[in-house]
Every structure is written in C-alpha cells, then in structure tokens.
C-alpha cells in the first residue's frame, strides 16, 4: 500500500477549474476555506439568507444559490448529509451540471447503495478526510493536514484520479497522507467502525460498565469516573501511539487486568455480533433500514436516541462536568 504525499500530487489537475461546494456544514466549511487558501476557485452553493450563506459570507467564501453554483462548476462536491444527497442530485445537480464535470463525495454511502446514479459523462470520485471538519481546518492552518482516503468510481474524462488527488491535496489530505481505496471499502469500513466500535460499541460498553457498578451498589459518580471519564485518557494513548503506548503508560496491575480480563468481555460471541453488523452493511440491509426509517419520519431512531440521552449516566455526568472548569471555553470559565 502506498501512502501519497504532497510531492506525489499534481495540483494543476484542477487548475483554472471552478469548485462548487454544496453544503456548508462541518466538512463543507473546512473544505471550502482550505481550497480557497490553496489557491483554487471556490464557490459554495447555499440557500440565500440561511445559516450556510451567513457563515460562508463571514468566511469570505463566494456564495451562490445551489443551482447557480452547479451551473458553472467543473467539480461539484456534495457535502450535505447522506439522506439529503439523492434530492440534491436529482433537483439541483443532474439537470444543471455541465458535461465532463466531476462529482465528489466525502463518504461513499449514496453511490455505493445506489441512491445517486451519476450521468455517464461525469467523473465520480471520493475524498474522505479521517477527521471532523474542525480538525481538517485547524491542521491546515498549522501547515499540516489530516490523512484522507480517495477513490474513483467513474472516470469519464480520464482525469478523475488526478482531480481527486488535487482536491485532497487542496484540503490538506496529502500533507497528512493519502491512501487510495474504493467506494465500497470506504463506505463499509466507515459504517462498521461507527457502529461496532467508535460510536455504537464504545457507547454500549460504557453504559454496561456503569450500570454493572451501580447495580452492585457503588456510587454512580465513582462509576462514571471509572467507565466514562477516564476513557478519554486511554483513547488519547491509543491515538498517539497505539496499544503499545497504552501499555507503556498504565500500571502493571492495569496491564495485567487488560490482557487477562479484556478477552472475557470481547468474546467469540461478541465478534460474531460484529460479523452480523458487517454482513448487514455489506448486504445493504442497514442502508435500507436507515432509508426506510427516514421515510417514516424516524420514530424508532428518535426513541432510541432519546433512550440514550435519558440514560442515568447522562444525569450523573452532567452534574460532575459542571465542576470541570477545563471543559469550559475561556469565555465561559
């Protein structure tokens, strides 16, 4: 596997080409500002008077109504939420995008699951930074960059790959390191990581640990510190140096407990549940369920989300965090 750096990328692949950013949320805002600062011609397609329009104007990014932004663009980056992309494609982009333009995504969901079916004359590419928009912007300002994945689904102009890499370099991805992938691999691994480990798995592990201690008669506040608060300390070690750095910085007792008891928690049964989650993602069952849930008005999603927000650990944590001055911004401290 090759990791591409700035020296491997031809910035002129997008020279004299206009880039339209559709959606000015976390990623859209960072991409637009970084591309502008990299010398590219950028316009953001946002509704006049809306939050995105106001933020883009404040950031000194050229603005236009989405349809107008699309009409003159050589590359169109769809950075709206996944469930909005089908409508954005059908109503705003497909009728107005010029021939030979490129369609770029930061996540492959809409293409991989057939929600968006681009015209044959268009390039279809992916550039997915491995970090939130705020980090993408902050690292770029510091002269560094967040690593990114890139992929090509459709190469109508025979310049799709070069365009994707140039865009990735423009937002700082090549400074952090570019890795080539496919739409399928990016989509399926991203969804799996979110569900089984980063968001779903970690959340359920924290809640289960907290409830186990509280049910055994321990104080909720102490259970919160042990099962949620201190998790950040361990995740930071993982982030900075992997499992080895964690072992280097925790006590011998903690190390022994980790290697002896960890496999008692994540068992073969747990791994089979993970494989089930992955099969649902690969088969499209998860995507179909999420699409149908949106079409129904998200009743099940809302109920499950509220159950998380109303879990006892949230009340305990909120009270404790009020005393943690370092979590407050300087203006609120």
Quick: pLDDT tens for 206-245. Answer: 999 999 999 999 999 999 999 999 999 999 999 999 999 9
Residue 11, marked binder: no
Tell whether residue 47 is among the known ligand binding residues: yes
Does residue 117 have a known ligand-binding role? no
Mean pLDDT on 292-306: 97
- Mean per-residue pLDDT, 166-182: 97
In terms of Cα–Cα distance, which of 27, 45, 24 is closest to 167?
Answer: 27
List active site positions. Answer: 107
117 CB-near residues (< 8 Å, 6+ apart): none
Within the chain, all domains assigned CATH 3.40.50.720 are found at 3-181
| 11-55 tens-digit pLDDT | 799 999 999 999 999 999 999 999 999 999 999 999 999 999 999
pLDDT band at 330 (very low <50, low <70, confident <90, very high): low
- Taking only the tens place, the pLDDT of each residue in 58-72 is 999 999 999 999 998
Is 185 flagged in the annotation as binding? Answer: no
331 — pLDDT class (breaks 50, 70, 90): very low
* CA atoms of 309 and 324, how far apart (whole Å): 20
275 annotated as a binding-site residue: no
Banded model confidence at residue 286, pLDDT cuts 50, 70, 90: very high
Return the residue matching tokens 């099962």. Answer: 227
27 among the known binding-site residues?
yes
Q: Is 251 within any annotated ligand binding site?
A: yes
Pairing of the two strands 102-105 and 41-45 = unpaired
Nearest to 104 by CA among 190, 18, 6: 18
Tell me the pTM: 0.93
pLDDT at 332 over 50: no
Rounded distance between C-alpha atoms, residue 162 and residue 170, angstroms? 12
pLDDT in tens, 180-215: 999 999 999 999 999 999 999 999 999 999 999 999
What pLDDT digit, counting tens, does each position of 108-125 carry? 999 999 999 999 999 999
Which of 194, 113, 108, 112 is CA-nearest to residue 149?
A: 108
Contact between 71 and 101 under an 8 Å Cβ cutoff? The reply is no
Given a contact cutoff of 8 angstroms between Cβ atoms, the answer to whether 155 and 130 are in contact is no
Q: At what angle do helices 268-283 and 183-192 cross, to 10 degrees?
A: 140
Q: Is the pLDDT of residue 149 over 60?
A: yes
Mean pLDDT, the chain, whole residue set: 96
The reply, when asked if residue 190 is annotated as ligand binding, is yes
Distance between CA atoms of 256 and 260, rounded to whole angstroms? 6
Is 100 a known ligand-binding residue?
Answer: no
Q: Does domain 3-181 have CATH number 1.25.40.10?
A: no
* 25 annotated to a ligand binding site: yes
């Amino acid at each position: 596997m090759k990791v591409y750096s700035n020296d491997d990328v031809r910035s002129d692949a997008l020279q004299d080409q206009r880039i339209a950013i559709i959606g000015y949320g976390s990623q859209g805002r960072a991409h637009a500002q970084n591309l502008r600062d990299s010398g590219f011609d950028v316009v953001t397609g946002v509704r006049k008077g809306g939050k995105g329009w106001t933020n883009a104007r404040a950031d000194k990014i050229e603005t236009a109504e989405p349809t107008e932004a699309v009409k003159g663009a050589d590359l169109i980056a769809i950075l709206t939420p996944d469930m909005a992309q089908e409508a954005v494609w059908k109503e705003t982009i497909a009728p107005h995008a010029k021939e030979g333009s490129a369609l770029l995504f930061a996540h492959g969901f809409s293409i991989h699951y057939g929600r968006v079916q681009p015209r044959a004359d268009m390039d279809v590419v992916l550039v997915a930074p491995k970090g939130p928009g705020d980090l993408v912007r902050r690292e770029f300002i510091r002269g560094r960059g967040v690593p990114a994945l890139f992929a090509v689904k459709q190469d109508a102009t025979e310049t799709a790959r070069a365009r994707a890499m140039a865009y990735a370099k423009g937002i700082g991805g090549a400074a952090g390191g570019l890795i080539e992938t496919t739409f399928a691999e990016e989509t399926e691994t991203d969804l799996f990581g979110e569900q089984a480990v980063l968001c779903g798995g970690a959340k359920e592990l924290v809640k289960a640990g907290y409830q186990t201690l509280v049910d055994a008669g321990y104080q909720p506040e102490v259970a919160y510190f042990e099962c949620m608060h201190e998790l950040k300390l361990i995740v930071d070690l993982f982030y900075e140096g992997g499992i080895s750095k964690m072992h280097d910085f925790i006590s011998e007792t903690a190390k022994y407990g980790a290697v002896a008891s960890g496999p008692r928690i994540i068992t073969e049964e747990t791994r089979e549940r993970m494989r089930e989650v992955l099969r649902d993602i690969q088969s499209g069952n998860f995507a179909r369920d999420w699409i149908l849930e949106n079409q129904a008005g998200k009743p099940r999603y809302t109920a499950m989300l509220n159950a998380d927000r109303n879990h006892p650990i949230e009340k305990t944590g909120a009270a404790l965090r009020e005393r943690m001055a370092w979590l407050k911004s300087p203006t609120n401290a």
